[in-house]
Structure 1
Amino acid sequence: MSLPPRALLACVFAAVIACPAAAAELASLDWLLGSWQRTGLPADRSGVEQWRRQGDALEGEGRSYRDGALRFQERLRIVAEGAQLYYVADVAGNPAPVRFRLVAQGGQSAVFENPQHDFPQRIAYQRNGKQLTATVSAGERVQVFQFTLSAPLSD
């Protein structure tokens, strides 16, 4: 099935308009950039989450340590697809990266959701100065991670 020329032109125009909007929305998440050190952990545990701009995406990595040994690692990306932003988490044990759609955004906050995923279904970030709170949840199950900015990063 082919589209009439006007409909095709309208689709191309909508795509061209949507891409800069998604790119601007992605740039509005630059407050997440940097190296964030976990706080409030027992003495034998530590963690870090790092975010940097990589081309047309934000790339992140989260790591948790116990007694200096790596216990958990995840690769993270925030990407624009069409007019929508997605948080993509690649975690060992999952058969494929899991995508969460941006559903809310404030000055220094963002909420991503995937109601079909087991846990988490919701990932929320809130920055307050040099403090960052990441809350992951599904139903009644909630985990809160506190971070302090240890090293700002830029492009």
Structure 2
Amino acid sequence: MLLLLASLTLDARQPDLGWLAGHWCTEPKNGTVICDSWAPMDKGVMHGKNISRTGGTVRTNETMTITVDELGMVFHAEPANQAPGDFRMATFDPAARSVTFEERSHDYPQRVRYRREGEKLLAEISMLDGSKAVRWTFHRTLE
């Protein structure tokens, strides 16, 4: 019985982010393409990578994970040449296929948001009040 309750509690803290899995790239802008790749959730961990390329040369590289702990989901980002950051899930809307992670103490960004619209993945980083927003529209691609 306790095992069943523990399993139900874990499931409540681990929303289905299957819609995020895949390889996503922006349209080229000034010769630069940005791609996010997310592996399906496996044993409570979802691995992601963000790479920005200009003319085939990697400009930026970031590793990301989404994990589950006793309080819910955590988005962990490790941008190249920057301090890593942890953002706790603030909202999840399964109908809208949207998830938002926040961390008030982080300098920038304080909010990371993903939303799926058909074969597009919309991503946004901003301050908690929505200021300094930067948005990307990714399209599903083959790797």
TM-score by shorter chain over 0.5:
yes
The alignment status of 1:130 with 2:119, answered yes or no, reads: yes
Corresponding residue to 1:77 among 61, 65, 72: 65
**Counterparts of 1:106 and 1:16, CA distance in 2:** 21
Q: What's the C-alpha RMSD, in Å, of the aligned pairs?
A: 2.2
Q: CA deviation at 1:18?
A: 2.6
The alignment status of 1:57 with 2:45, answered yes or no, reads: yes
Look up the SS of the partner of 2:133 in the other structure.
strand
If each structure's helix is expressed as a fraction of its own residues, which one has the higher value? 1
Q: CA deviation at 1:91?
A: 1.3
Q: CA deviation at 1:38?
A: 1.1
For each residue in 1:109-148, what CA deviation from the matched residue of structure 2 results, as whole angstroms up to 9, or x when unmatched?
0000001101110011110110111010015211001100
State how many pairs are aligned: 137
Q: CA deviation at 1:66?
A: 1.4
Look up the SS of the partner of 1:100 in the other structure.
strand
The alignment status of 1:30 with 2:18, answered yes or no, reads: yes
Q: CA deviation at 1:14?
A: 7.4
Name the TM-score, length of structure 2 as normaliser.
0.85
**Counterparts of 2:142 and 2:92, CA distance in 1:** 24
Letter of the structure 2 residue corresponding to residue 114 of structure 1? E
Name the TM-score, length of structure 1 as normaliser.
0.79
Percent sequence identity over aligned pairs: 25
Q: CA deviation at 1:37?
A: 1.0
**Counterparts of 1:132 and 1:16, CA distance in 2:** 30
For each residue in 1:27-72, what CA deviation from the matched residue of structure 2 results, as whole angstroms up to 9, or x when unmatched?
x111000000112622x11111000024321110000011211000
Look up the SS of the partner of 1:47 in the other structure.
strand
**1:5 corresponding residue in structure 2:** none
What are structure 2's unaligned runs of at least 5 residues?
none
**2:85 corresponding residue in structure 1:** 98
Instruction: Give the structure, 1 or 2, with the largest relative contact order (CA under 8 Å, sep 6 or more).
Output: 1
**2:140 corresponding residue in structure 1:** 149
Larger Rg: 1
